[in-house]
A and B are shown apart, each in its own frame.
Chain A
């Protein structure tokens, strides 16, 4: 048992934190969110130059072939900075999908530019009600029809990886160029300062060569999304810590009744409970990272669901109490605490909500 990080891991975290400290202040982030693009090309280039976009890319494709622990550390630094760029969606989830399911040509074609920061790829998986996306076999390929939702930064993506079900019930993953005929993007900002889109697919033709993997890939897809979930737990850790730090700082300086409000026991105890949530989340982010690539599916799912429940409940409690303890200032757009609150709100709902994971975990009790 070992809870320490290697020197390389610590350097990776420090380097990421330092870069964001210099390049990703509150004002800078506000201007990025307000921009048309909704993300900064300069920042994307910057994190590419640090090698972060190639962290999960295999060595033969020019990457660092790092794992979930490195990802957790980098994501926690991104969480602390409230990074809005699609690192999780492209450098973690899509990269893992291509590395796992892609053939040699696909990996070479896509992973190298992704790692270099020249290509953003996004997995389009979630569907709105009635969005059931179908893949119909035609000569030499497939025709995709359906609708995907909450596809992060789809407007900036050069490649979409769309999951779709064939007539035989098998789930496949298909590479789609967002500019190709039949693809329509309905873009929108998200509540946490991000950007996303619904992807509407009508008779979108995908050649056999652009299908990732063979047969039913739903189990692979679940494994890929769990890599994302573990990374998300790491991000949550950073946002939770920032929320708690900001609250402690605020209650130390804000005076009422002649003393810092942090001296009042009702508030101190609340912050003690916030810390407990943060530390329990830290434990579960570690567990999620260590189990993210576990071969035994039942063990992996159990651990990841447990992690998401603990982290999800922390997102609610810490987010809400951070706003509460900031008083009126907490509900304004001016302080970072409300931005943390909105990111925590989004995290709680991403890759399965607390309720969904609690439900999955409790069903397994009698399985």
Chain B
């Protein structure tokens, strides 16, 4: 039993920190540390910088141009980057479709699709959820019918995050409507420029355009863009969801935001004293910090088990539930810290270079937007209620 990182891990962390000092663009860092809105180019600039260093695929095996890092090294990399104010890696290509292509795609698909993901040259989005298929994903209806050497796809996908930037979408489609729901699904890669693909924004309650609807009308997809076998898509879909759940706890992000909360609570003054000296407020901050300490150790325990026997198991559900609750809790307290200043709504001030006449104190505007935005955490990626179902079935055997 030893909770400290090895000297090797420590040296690795310092290497990552040094890289961050030299190569994380200052403007991007400023936005992340202050909870501001990130543009497509901000994400890409970071991916390009990592790629140039050979770190474009932190979770990828070396065989495909990745780093070949252990789960613990990946954790150190992710948390060190998050704490330093790096943007998250856009997961749809790197962490979602790429592992599926590696595991179930053919040689030609490896060559065609993996290098542009690594280099940040092609942006992917996810075509899983539909208006009628959310938590019950296997009930999806988007239909693909074989026509010569093409599939003709019709249907509607939704909650497509950053789909407005995407070059490609990976889709679950129904290829056998007669089979049991899980048996008749296939996994297709679709070029967003194909005629019949339409992206429509969904504006969320923070005023952001982050998610979209994607309409597919008589979209012709070459059969070589089928992953694996027809009607086996559910297997690949579940494999992908397993990978989506790595680093799901968001420890590094939570640490960064907790530090920001504390800075805020030291500068916000109530009755002549820093807010952090208000015992009632301090206790709420303390609770979150304590929960986060426990979750970090739980996360490391899961990683260590993972290092011994591969993909994250149902324990990842614990990380998802606690991680989302902690992040939401931190933002909730941040809005409380700024008091009445949580109410002025100036969305444009979240972008860089805001020159408006509202006196932005640097911190007072973004917490509310982030608080509104982060309500999604306990809903997406399998809602926290679905996670409790997974725990009770897979761990408790109920």
Contact = CB atoms under 8 A, between A and B. Distances in A.
Interface stretch (A123-131, A176-184, A203-211, A281-289): A281-289
Interface in A336-367: 358-359, 361-363, 365-366
Contacts of A2: 1-2, 304
Contact of A310 (B266, B290, B301): B290
Given A280-B291, A280-B294, A272 B391 contact: yes
A358 B286 contact: yes
Contacts, number: 128
Contact of A283 (B2, B297, B395): B297
Contacts of A359: 279, 283
Given A283-B297, A362-B282, A3 B396 contact: no
A280 B279 contact: no
The listed residue with most B CB atoms (<10 A of its CB), out of A263, A289, A366, is A366
Contact of A290 (B1, B266, B294, B389): B1
A283 B294 contact: yes
Interface string B275-314: 0110100110111011101110110110011000000000
A3 B301 contact: yes
A269 interface: yes
A42 interface: no
The listed residue with most A CB atoms (<10 A of its CB), out of B293, B294, B297, B305, is B294
Contacts of A45: none
B44 interface: no
A251 B398 contact: yes
A264 B283 CA distance: 35
B3 interface: yes
Nearest to B308: A4
Nearest to A69: B1
B328 to A, nearest CB: 16
Contact of A309 (B6, B290, B315, B322): B290
B277 to A, nearest CB: 5
B2 A1 contact: yes
Contacts of A358: 283, 286-287, 290
A268 B392 contact: yes
A272 B304 CA distance: 22
Q: In the complex, which range does the number of interface residues on chain A fall in?
A: 35 or more
The listed residue with most B CB atoms (<10 A of its CB), out of A1, A251, A263, A365, is A1
B63 to A, nearest CB: 26
A271 interface: yes
Given A3-B1, A275-B391, A358-B286, A366 B297 contact: no
B286 A361 contact: yes
Given A248-B396, A362-B279, A268 B388 contact: yes
Contacts of B317: 272
Contact of B388 (A273, A286, A287): A273
A279 B266 CA distance: 33
B322 A275 contact: no
Contacts of A310: 290-291, 294
A362 B285 contact: yes
B322 A276 contact: yes
A250 B5 CA distance: 41
Contacts of B4: 1
B215 to A, nearest CB: 34
Contacts of A280: 291, 294-295, 298, 322
A365 B286 contact: yes
A34 B385 CA distance: 45
Given A3-B301, A263-B398, A366-B276, A268 B285 contact: no
B286 A362 contact: yes
B294 A271 contact: no
A321 to B, nearest CB: 13
B62 interface: no
The listed residue with most B CB atoms (<10 A of its CB), out of A5, A275, A287, is A275
B344 interface: no
A366 B283 CA distance: 11
A339 to B, nearest CB: 22
B5 A1 contact: yes
Contact of A275 (B287, B295, B318): B318
B72 interface: yes
Contact of A1 (B9, B274, B283, B286): B9
The listed residue with most B CB atoms (<10 A of its CB), out of A3, A69, A363, is A3
B262 interface: yes
Interface of B: 1-6, 9, 72, 262, 266, 274, 276-277, 279, 282-283, 285-287, 289-291, 293-295, 297-298, 300-301, 304-305, 315, 317-318, 321-322, 385, 387-389, 391-393, 395-398
Give 3 closest A-B pairs by Cβ, nearest first: A283-B297, A362-B286, A268-B392
28 contacts: A1-B300, A4-B1, A69-B1, A268-B389, A269-B388, A271-B396, A273-B388, A275-B395, A283-B294, A283-B297, A283-B301, A284-B293, A286-B3, A286-B301, A287-B294, A290-B2, A306-B290, A309-B286, A358-B290, A359-B279, A359-B283, A361-B286, A362-B279, A362-B282, A362-B286, A365-B282, A366-B266, A366-B276
